[in-house]
Structure 1
Amino acid sequence: MKQILILLFTTTFIFSATSQSKEKKPDFAKRLSGIEKELNQVLVDQKVAGYSVAVVYKDKIIYSKGFGYRDLENKKPVTPNTLFAIGSSTKAFTSAILGQLEKEEKLKLKDLATSHLPQLSFKYDYLNTGITIRDMMCHRTGFSRFDYSWYFFNTSNRDSLISRVKYMEPTVKLREKWQYNNWMFLAQGMIAEKITEKTWEQNIQERFFTPLKMTHSNTDIFATQKDADASLPYTLDSKMSIKKMDYYNINGMGPAGSINSCANDMGNWVATWIMGGKFNESEIIPSSYVKDASSSQMVVRGGQPTDHSDIQFTNYGLGWFLESYRGHFLVEHGGNINGFSANVAFYPSDSIGIVVLTNQNGSEVPEIVRNFISDKLFALSPIPWNADAKKAKDEMMAEVKKLESKADTTSLQVKNTQPSHPLKDYAGYYSNDAYGNFTVVYENDTLKTFLAGEKMWMSHYHYDIFNLESVKKEDEEDESKFLLNFASASNGKIDRVSLDLDEPEKTTEFLRSTPKVELSNDDLTKYVGDYDLEGNTIKVYIKGKVLMVLVPGQPDYETASIGNDTFELTIAKGYSVKFTMDNGKSIAVVFQQPNGNFTAKRK
């Protein structure tokens, strides 16, 4: 009897497997038939200028189409080849380079990050000797976002950017909690640059764009702007009207999000993942890495249901989010950057991929459209994703209007106050090691600065607090508050400004200083010599490329030029020396100190 049961079980298994192998491919064309009506309604309900869609089955794009306009004013339509910025959907590309390098035996994902990138340094030794490449790929380094550091204070110099990390404070222990962090993807791109001796941009082009025939894609926003089929960036203003905005040049932080692509090109990228890393039968991404990257590495959100009982957990792989969508395993990643939003997704077990790219800032459209199409492809009972999002948005706007009507009584602004100093006293150079620096200038009775690639002016809010506002007229209706709180030193002079940036319930301080001026040794030579200060000999000499000052009985002081023949003592804040010049040579040096000025004449 026992043998018969075993035989029966075996026979049933074979029959089941045979039945599955003969299962016909679903009629996706029929399931997608007529979806344009609903997809066009998304344009209206979500107030979006345009978007594009690509649907992939195995290695083929089975549907691609553009909706709305890439240029709303001139009514230029979106096509499947229209370029959009894909933002953080770039991350899977960056990590995949390292997956390739692991197969090439150039690195291992378990390697310490600092062992491959000397420029990367953390504040604490346990992080320098603990954080691996894999940790960076799945957001478990212990660092929160610190996004304002690169967004407000961007630079194309990646070495300069990555040097800020050593001044950033982790918020939790290593591997304790999933926390999204763009900086660690910058580091991954730089590791690839160091190993390959090619830029991240070159690696993306040669390793992915070319072999995957992504002929429209690029990593340069300036190239996108010149493309005849590129979309303009848009946002919604406070009255929910579509408004054009400026492109944002990510440049230095490129590995975290600077790819610009189109639905058709991204369809090829998704097809490669569906096919286990192969495109046109050639392996582009190692199959072992594809499995690793689309496997759970870190829990983002546990298995408790959301508003929908059949949409549950969210985990993170390597450059991908992993989710349960109505009984189907979903691998996806969104992307947002000024004027653009994206979602790139595939269902590995179903061999289906969906790409949605839109020209709306911070938009829900990619997820709305992805979920709508998923329900159609899987023949699921429809969820009114678009209608639900519209209802939520309408309710939010009603609440905003209600709050606006109470604004006069609830505003934190104290009326009829004045700054403690004349406006020109707030002008200066402000810096923070973890963020960068910015300059406040006094111009035409107004304080101005330059942040996030944009010129801004500072309107007085109350006391010594000013609000940042765009100088562009079209942004005048933007009532958002980004406040700068200036403070004075004990001598009464403005010496710092605080901003509420990335860290919750903690302000970030920028100290006022004078920007350093680089001088050659020939420039420094005119200051070298012996100076007499009340019978004491002060020696000024050059050490390496630095001007040094030796006062008898004190350590040698290193200085930094701040222009106008003036040098700060680098280890003594508030102390400086200013040289008096005659015919290109110093004749005296004045020690400027909090307790007074002291002059030493050249011997």
Structure 2
Amino acid sequence: MGLQDIHVAARLKALEPHISNICRAGGAPGLSLAVLHHGAVVYSKHFGCCDVETEEPPDGDTVYFIGSLTKAMVSALVGICVEAGLLEWTTPICSILPEIVDTFQGRGSQLTALDLLSHRVGVSRGDALWLQRAGNILMPKSKGIDTWTSLPLVRDFRTDYLYSNFGYDMAGRAIEKLTGMSLGENLRSKIFEPLGMTRTSLQDDFSDGSNYAKAYFALDDASPFQVPIPTISDKTLMAAAGSVRSCTNDLARFYASFLHAVNDQFLNNTTSTAGSPFKQLVQILQPHSQLTMVSLREQSYALGWGRAQLPCVLGAFNYNKYLVPQMPVIGKDAPSKLAVYHGGSMQGFTSSVYLLPETETAIIALQNSTGLCDPCDWIAQLAIETLLGNKQLPESFEKLANTAAATGAGLAAAIDRKLQQERKPGTQPRQLLAYVGRYWNKVKTFRIDITVCNKDEDEELHMCFQGVENETYRLRHYHHDVFVWNASHNDTARQGRFQTRPFYSYKIEFELDAVEKGEQTVEVKAKSLRWMYDDLPKPVTFVLE
């Protein structure tokens, strides 16, 4: 380590008290941080514990789920397949997945890998149909294509950016079909093994079963509540969107090699680098979509990566931006540099990575919680400021984390207030049996069971997703034939559900019809329900079986 790198390490070490405070504020029981500069690790530190019960501290080999940091690995894998001649970036994906031909009002026949990996298809997200409670994947992989192609179009094709986990799921399926190997086998043989990433996988668990972080959600006092480990893997839906689990030691190897290859391929205008698994990086890191952030400088999306020209606001892929009045401008006291970055989350885990390609710098932060805010992203941005020698004080990031955490702890209450503002008082529901039944989406890949249960001599209406017992929620009468199912912050956290769902997604509206039961008897019975589970033009109808 050179003298300059020693000075960098010393400046980062001086941040440790502030990093610990940010972790406490946001409810991160454990966090691993690694920083590369000039292609080598100059700083590595691990905070808190990976297991609250045993108080075991994390280290560089502690495995975390890295969520959507998976996406850059998948785009790199597609680049390898393009270099090998298995497809072109502009190959219609329907030539590999014929099920999508003629879907999306003709877009399905035009979709390419570039469209899927840059989030420019324009299809609604649909995440509520597969991701609710910790430990559950609500939809089998076999139903993924039918479900995705049934989702409504909500953005213009190839001109509007709309983040899509389903798009990456489709890219992963295409790779599997082209190669005849699972996504995990592809990543292992083509990237992980060549780079010596021995603790990185898409499998359910690791063979030795040791040194992995437990998953936690933060209660409203920032204390941790343990939830089940995610079950996402290369055997499930959304493998390519967020199933990788890894550690800072392995990720340091990945990003060091990636940055070296990026600089080589951009400098020499080539598609490969000697001794590196990474191919086609000029295409992968080009801007392909415009992010929805307001900025004079570049804010774009490449393939699995965000691009931002400093100085500017960062954090497009973590939810801190929803929790503070204004995000900090990073890099304003230093010469302009390109930042390439992404964030990730699965229930109980959050991750963040920032790259500065010109200096082969990487900041990697992994935490084992879904917190009141995202400490890992605040800490990564603080590290960038420190590396650039800027004057933004660490205390300002502590203040931001405290503000964000207070807002995060109040999200459930804010949802309830919004619901109450729109409630029409003084109405009564029908007899609860009128709503009972099994309701399906139009392609019969997602079902909602409505039942009546007796509790303390009172009847309650319950809703269950996909027949999964612990995905059962109580429906409370709202007004007319509308019910709600929102819960307090702590109840939502104990379920391992994200607090950031839109307030309208907690409304379930029944549509009823009169049914003749005899010559003089008419029964009012629900025929469908409507659920606005996403940012959609109108609620989606689920029809009674």
* TM tier relative to shorter chain: 0.7 to 0.9
TM-score calculated relative to the size of structure 1: 0.72
Whole-angstrom CA distance in 2 between matches of 1:280 and 1:28:
29
Q: Which deviations, in whole Å up to 9, do the C-alpha atoms of 1:27-77 show, x marking residues without a partner? A: 433433433222222222323211101112344323222111112233222
1:169 aligns with 2:148: no
Whole-angstrom CA distance in 2 between matches of 1:314 and 1:409:
34
Q: Is the 8 A contact 1:297 1:316 kept in 2?
A: yes
CA drift of 1:383 comes to 4.2
Whole-angstrom CA distance in 1 between matches of 2:180 and 2:402:
52
| 1:432–1:458 Cα change, 3 Å | farther
- Alignment correspondent of 1:451: 465
- Alignment correspondent of 1:332: 341
CA drift of 1:401 comes to 11
- Alignment correspondent of 2:401: 390
CA drift of 1:205 comes to 1.9
- Alignment correspondent of 1:516: none
CA drift of 1:129 comes to 3.2
Identity in percent: 20
- Alignment correspondent of 1:547: none
Aligned match for 2:249, one of 241, 258, 264: 264
Whole-angstrom CA distance in 1 between matches of 2:220 and 2:442:
32
Counterpart residue type for residue 297 of structure 1: H
CA drift of 1:351 comes to 0.8
Per the alignment, in what secondary structure is the counterpart of residue 375 of structure 1? helix
Q: How does 1:343-382 map to 2 (within 5 A)?
A: 343-361=352-370, 363-382=373-392
| 1:184–1:434 Cα change, 3 Å | farther
Q: Is the 8 A contact 1:423 1:446 kept in 2?
A: no
Count, aligned residues:
482
Select the structure with the greater relative contact order (CA < 8 A; seq sep ≥ 6): 2
CA drift of 1:475 comes to 4.9
1:498 aligns with 2:530: yes
Q: Is the 8 A contact 2:453 2:461 kept in 1?
A: yes
Whole-angstrom CA distance in 2 between matches of 1:433 and 1:416:
37
Unaligned runs of 5+ in 2: 265-271, 311-330, 516-523
Counterpart residue type for residue 388 of structure 2: F
Q: Is the 8 A contact 2:22 2:401 kept in 1?
A: no
Greater gyration radius = 1
Whole-angstrom CA distance in 1 between matches of 2:422 and 2:293:
38
Q: Is the 8 A contact 1:58 1:274 kept in 2?
A: no
Per the alignment, in what secondary structure is the counterpart of residue 31 of structure 2? strand
Whole-angstrom CA distance in 1 between matches of 2:435 and 2:5:
72
Whole-angstrom CA distance in 1 between matches of 2:182 and 2:449:
31
Counterpart residue type for residue 129 of structure 1: S
| 1:471–1:41 Cα change, 3 Å | closer
Q: Is the 8 A contact 2:434 2:526 kept in 1?
A: no
| 1:503–1:434 Cα change, 3 Å | farther
Unaligned runs of 5+ in 1: 1-21, 306-311, 514-603
Per the alignment, in what secondary structure is the counterpart of residue 358 of structure 2? coil
Q: Which deviations, in whole Å up to 9, do the C-alpha atoms of 1:428-477 show, x marking residues without a partner? A: 24333286223334455554444386332323223433333689995599
- Alignment correspondent of 1:129: 109
- Alignment correspondent of 2:308: 323
Q: Is the 8 A contact 2:450 2:463 kept in 1?
A: yes
1:186 aligns with 2:169: yes
Whole-angstrom CA distance in 2 between matches of 1:352 and 1:203:
27
Q: How does 1:451-490 map to 2 (within 5 A)?
A: 451=465, 454-462=470-478, 463-468=480-485, 475=492, 482-490=506-514
Q: How does 1:193-212 map to 2 (within 5 A)?
A: 193-212=176-195
Aligned match for 2:540, one of 508, 511, 519: 508
Per the alignment, in what secondary structure is the counterpart of residue 538 of structure 2? coil
Q: Is the 8 A contact 1:331 1:347 kept in 2?
A: yes
Q: Is the 8 A contact 1:455 1:471 kept in 2?
A: no
Counterpart residue type for residue 476 of structure 2: H
TM-score calculated relative to the size of structure 2: 0.79
Whole-angstrom CA distance in 1 between matches of 2:230 and 2:275:
35
- Alignment correspondent of 1:548: none
CA drift of 1:173 comes to 2.3
Whole-angstrom CA distance in 1 between matches of 2:168 and 2:177:
14
Q: Is the 8 A contact 2:413 2:488 kept in 1?
A: no
Per the alignment, in what secondary structure is the counterpart of residue 448 of structure 2? strand
- Alignment correspondent of 2:214: 232
Counterpart residue type for residue 67 of structure 1: F
Q: Is the 8 A contact 2:219 2:225 kept in 1?
A: yes
- Alignment correspondent of 1:282: 275
| 1:393–1:493 Cα change, 3 Å | same
Q: Which has the higher strand share?
A: 1
- Alignment correspondent of 2:291: 300
Whole-angstrom CA distance in 1 between matches of 2:401 and 2:253:
32
- Alignment correspondent of 1:437: 447
Counterpart residue type for residue 163 of structure 2: Y
Whole-angstrom CA distance in 2 between matches of 1:128 and 1:233:
37
Aligned match for 2:228, one of 221, 233, 246: 246
CA drift of 1:155 comes to 5.3
Q: Is the 8 A contact 2:75 2:117 kept in 1?
A: yes
Whole-angstrom CA distance in 1 between matches of 2:418 and 2:484:
18
Per the alignment, in what secondary structure is the counterpart of residue 275 of structure 1? helix
- Alignment correspondent of 1:534: none
Whole-angstrom CA distance in 1 between matches of 2:188 and 2:483:
44
Q: Which deviations, in whole Å up to 9, do the C-alpha atoms of 1:367-404 show, x marking residues without a partner? A: 21111111222222234452231353366379879979
CA drift of 1:352 comes to 0.7
- The alignment yields a C-alpha RMSD, in angstroms, of 3.5
Q: Which has the higher helix share?
A: 2
CA drift of 1:225 comes to 11
Whole-angstrom CA distance in 1 between matches of 2:393 and 2:489:
41
| 1:35–1:433 Cα change, 3 Å | same
